[in-house]
Chain A
Amino acid sequence: MTHTFVAYVEDIPGVLTRVASLFRRLNINISSLTVGRSERVGLSRLTLVCEASSEAGDRIRASLYKLENIVDVDDIAQAPNVTRELALIKVAATPRNRAQIFDLVEVFRARIVDLTSESLMIEMTGVESKIEGLIEILREDEGRILEVCRSGKMTMRRGHHTSSVLKAMGKGPDEKPLPEEANDTTVDIEPA
């Protein structure tokens, strides 16, 4: 099954190696990894996606916690969440066939962010399937796609902040998490 781990890690050299090394040792492929600054000074937030057995999830989470530079770990693939990916796609396009791509971009709610006489760049945010849908259609014309750059998945639980560890450290916000049912009924306000 797919596991999505969200972790707060110290923003210092070598931390990514420690995280990656844990998966390497278990011979598990990391299919997607995004890292960036979080809302907390000195802490980065990463989203890591991998395939592993359902029993492995707890052990991986426990092992991640054993890394000294990891402050908080959450496995949220099964929880109500919002997951997004950003893609930049450069396609070959001349003034003659641009219009067709403009239509596509419109349908997919993407944006053109760069335009030259031979090519243009599309920026698109959304769930994985939506990005893959656009790429697939662009691929129908051989040689059209010049470059694809995808950010990998970013994930956040729906509802209020629920990180128990940050709270235990006295750094978390005070709000109580919404009850599970409330989480379940929250709707995705941006259609995928």
Chain B
Amino acid sequence: MGNKPNTQSAESHLTTPTRLTGAEIVWATLVGEGVSTVFGYPGGAILPVYDALRKFPIHHVLVRHEQGAAHMADGFARASGKVGVCMATSGPGATNLVTGIATAMLDSIPVVCITGNVSSKLLGSDAFQEVDITGITLPITKHNFLISKTEDIAHAIRYAFQIAQSGRPGPVLVDITKDAQQGTAIFDFEAAKPRPYRPHPMLKVEDAGLTKAAELIRNAKKPVILSGHGVMESQAMEQVRTLAERAQIPVALTLLGLGGFPASHPLNLGMMGMHGESWVNNAIQDADLLIACGMRFDDRVTGSLSTYATKAKKIHIEIDPAEINKNVKVDVALVGDLRAVLEDLLPRISGRDGSAWIKTIEASKGDVSVHDIKNIPDSGHLYAAHVMHDLWRITNGEAIVSTDVGQHQMWEAQYFHHEKPRSLVTSGGLGTMGFALPSAIGAKMACPEKEVWAIAGDGGFQMTAAELSTIVQEKLKINIAIINNGYLGMVRQWQEFFYDSNYEATPLVSPDFVKLADAHGISGRAVRTRAELAEAVKEARTCDGPFLLNFMVEKEDSVYPMIPAGSALHEMIRRPGKNPIVESPDDK
């Protein structure tokens, strides 16, 4: 952290219009927007901005790769609910952000990315490190700006913050030419305010729709609430819970919705979709009413659309009109902010008896528990599911867990039970490997008082392992769990199920991760049996600094149940055991 002399002047800029350089305006505007941390990497075209940093009370985290900066800003936003900010130079710096920006876009995460670009007279000339980053990021941002005039910087950044947070959130990129950073202009924070937020004109919550929804809920025999990420984004946890409790409706969650409804709640069914437990998906297939709250019927949630919940009427409460009837045709669309819609709907909902339906679902849990990996006797082998289950128990489920993508991500979702919103940081929509470590850094910067675990597979971890240095440089207490099975596990699983076990390009040689950690000055140890698991986790938690656990798990284990892509939600592949592998409700 650099010296921060007199930061008082930086704040006085916000009240008194002052002549500043474009670079200073960038920081002054960020200060005005309440930013305290920026993740970035310097370079030629953004150097003026970096040169001005010392005058402002903002902490800059130097990353090891710009993808990490974008993921950190993303993790920061997911854990805190605030806007995450990342910064990069032109050309390769900017293109390295792309995967991170797309990750934030697919999961509707508010991130503002600031990139430097070559001087305005060189735009379009293939100058050194020049790239058309606004063109490149056009389809993966909510909006982006190319700024070549100093006087436009403050407004663009303020506008970017408004766009990133409003409606359905998402990433916004502001590309600023070097000459705009070097020029001067009067900085007037107040005058740079964007025009008032304009809600999407197709938002529509009509009385008739609310009445119809209430009527459908009243008459339903087998209703299920589908609770998604929007529950967190519009802070509607209370409202969803009230709806579920008052009308006694069980709640199924999407991957990004985990934590939006307490895992321990008796009405919580668990995660739905491709790796959801059978009773969750069977309940959805049997339901006569689905109440979708802030979710978008992703293909990983629905399976084949033609067979999806065919008996159910559907109510869709969603803030993005472009999501209505996109995948699943709905009977009632309440297009608006989830919390506001539920507040209008709840007075029309009265208590109802849901016990028969809940009992039916409960009964269907019994026969699947025999497949539960938790019940597999300790064979001396370490199963990833055991790791997740024990991590959950030992941390009391109170840690923020950041996961990568693949098998370990699904095991985490199945066996680490999230009680609170913003306690799971994971890339759902884009499915970005390498997300866990950098996003955990962002989450830890946002919530320094919280215990943070990064859980990654041996494949994904190596994609962004360079950020171990960032953890050390920032002196962050982050625990890292590598679920090491020597394969790109989820791909191997697909090869096993759908490609005749032809394990092409999935066996993976890795470094000794404990030694790798050691080279960074991070303590660690390998864990090979379940017997040593608890002790190892305890050691990690009590260690003052970051700690890496290398869990050597069963090599060819698969995530069960699994709905093959494009199959019906009830046609799941089950863990081989007493019952036939493919089991649908009709088989019973």
A positions within 8 Å CB-CB of B: 13-14, 17-18, 21, 25, 55, 58-59, 61-63, 65-68, 72, 164-165, 168-169
Cα separation A19 to B287 with both chains bound (whole Å):
40
| Chain A interface, DSSP helix/strand/loop, else mixed | helix
Residues of A within 8 A of B146 (CB): 13-14
- Chain B, residue nearest A13 (CB): B146
Indicate if B60 sits at the interface (CB-CB under 8 A).
Answer: no
| Residues in chain B within 8 A of chain A (CB atoms) | 134-135, 138-139, 142-143, 146, 163, 198, 200-202, 320-322, 324-326
Q: A21-B139, A68-B163 are in contact. Are A164 and B325 (CB under 8 A)?
A: no
Question: Between A and B, how many residue pairs show CB distances below 8 Å?
Answer: 42
Q: Is the CB of A68 within 8 A of B142?
A: yes
Could you say which residues of chain A place their CB within 8 Å of the CB of B325?
55, 58-59
Min CB–CB distance A52 → chain B (angstroms): 14
Bound form: Cα–Cα A168–B143 in Å: 23
Q: Given the complex of chains A and B, what is the CA–CA distance between A187 and B321 in angstroms?
A: 35
A-B contact pairs, 15 of them (CB 8 A): A14-B134, A14-B146, A17-B135, A18-B138, A21-B139, A58-B321, A59-B322, A61-B202, A62-B202, A62-B321, A65-B321, A66-B200, A66-B320, A68-B143, A168-B201
Q: Please, which residues of chain A bring their CB within 8 A of the CB of B324?
A: 58-59, 62
The distance from the CB of A76 to the nearest CB of chain B, in whole angstroms, is 15
Name which residue of chain A comes closest to B146, CB basis. Answer: A14
- The complex places the Cα of A25 from the Cα of B201 at a distance, in Å, of 23
Set A62, A165, A169: member contacting B322, Cβ < 8 A = A62
Q: Which residues of B contact A25 (CB under 8 A)?
A: 139
Q: CA–CA, A67 to B201, complex, Å?
A: 12
Contacts of A61 in B (CB 8 A): 202
* Shortest Cβ gap from B101 to chain A (Å): 15
A66 and B323 CA atoms in complex are apart in Å by 12
The smallest C-beta distance from B322 to any residue of chain A, in angstroms, reads 4
Q: How far is the CA of A72 from the CA of B201 in the complex (A)?
A: 8
- Decide: A59 near B320, CB < 8 A? Known: A25-B139, A68-B163, A168-B201: no
Indicate if the CB atoms of A66 and B322 lie closer than 8 Å: yes
Expressed in whole angstroms, the minimum distance between the Cβ of B549 and any Cβ of chain A is 42
Chain B residues whose C-beta falls within 8 Å of the C-beta of A168 in the assembled complex: 201
Q: How far is the CA of A21 from the CA of B142 in the complex (A)?
A: 13
Closest chain B residue to A68, Cβ basis: B143
Q: Which one of A17, A21, A65, A72 has the highest number of Cβ atoms from chain B below 10 Å of its Cβ?
A: A65
Contacts of B134 in A (CB 8 A): 14
Least Cβ distance of B98 to chain A in Å? 16
Within 8 Å by CB of A165, from B143, B201, B320, lies B201
User: In whole angstroms, how far apart are the Cα atoms of A179 and B202 in the complex?
Assistant: 22
Kindly state the separation between the CA atoms of A14 and B202 in the bound complex, as whole angstroms.
24
CB–CB B202/A65 < 8 A: yes
Using CB atoms, name the residue of chain A closest to B202.
A62
Q: Which residues of B contact A169 (CB under 8 A)?
A: 198
A21 cross-chain contacts in B, Cβ below 8 A: 138-139
Bound complex: CA A55 to CA B325 (Å)? 8
Residues of B within 8 A of A13 (CB): 146
- Distance A168 CA – B138 CA, assembled complex (angstroms): 28
CB atoms of A17 and B138 under 8 A apart: yes
